[in-house]
Amino acid sequence: MRPLILCYERLQRILRVLNQLGGNARIRDLERSHGIWSWEVEQAAELGWVRTFTKKPPVGRPSEIAEILNIYPSAKYPPIRRAITCDIRWRHRHFAINSVNPVGATNSWGFGMPKKYEAYMMTYPACKSKPSAAVGACRLMKRMDVRLMRRWLFCELGSEVSGDMPWTQAELIEQLEPLGYIQRVHRR
């Protein structure tokens, strides 16, 4: 999931919409009609591109207004969209955990690794058929973040890493690179 950080592209959209609307608009109208959320407007105001204020009409409730600033003396640019790291999806994390956790009584030793389609069916309970679960598991196993999470979990079982599992792919790479596992993951 992408964190709530204003990116350069969304800032350009806010400025373009405000210019089309005459330089100012109610934040509620921006949310309803243009899909520009209040947190984006607040972050644009913190960066110095717009200003927000409350307008109290003689009758009715007050409105939050966003107004574009024509002079940007100290405005800063936000990062571009691809520079913002996204968290790994919860379901992908859950699939990686389910595919690594041992299950009981599947072999002569009394425990074993679940099959990939079983891990997929545990993660996505709406999936009822084994062939479609196998296809979905194959699709997920091709994802780099799932492979890195599985590698991190195997290292955690072997006590090579400790702590909580990182939430981004960059953090996973940062922790696994000193151990020498990144080359093996990238080759597949």
- Containing domain of residue 55, as a range? 8-83
The contacts found for 34-41 with CB under 8 angstroms, 24 or more apart, are: 36/10, 38/64, 39/4, 39/6, 40/6, 40/10, 40/11, 40/14, 41/14, 41/66
What CATH code is carried by the domain that includes residue 48?
1.10.10.10
Give the distance between the most distant pair of CA atoms in the chain. Answer: 80
CB 57 within 8 Å of CB 63:
yes
Give me the pLDDT at residue 188, please.
44
Containing 33, the helix (H) or strand (E) segment is: helix 27-34
Give me the pLDDT at residue 187, please.
45
Is residue 148 a part of any domain in this protein? yes
- What predicted TM-score, i.e. pTM, was given to this entire model? 0.63
Residues in the chain, pLDDT under 50: 105, 187-188
CB 34 within 8 Å of CB 120:
no
Give me the pLDDT at residue 183, please.
62
CA distance 35 to 125: 33
Is residue 102 a part of any domain in this protein? yes
| SS3 state of residue 70 | coil
Give me the pLDDT at residue 86, please.
82
Express each pLDDT in 153-173 by its tens digit.
888 888 888 788 888 888 888
Give me the pLDDT at residue 123, please.
92
Which residue reads 């969209």 in tokens? 81
Is residue 1 a part of any domain in this protein? no
Give me the pLDDT at residue 109, please.
56
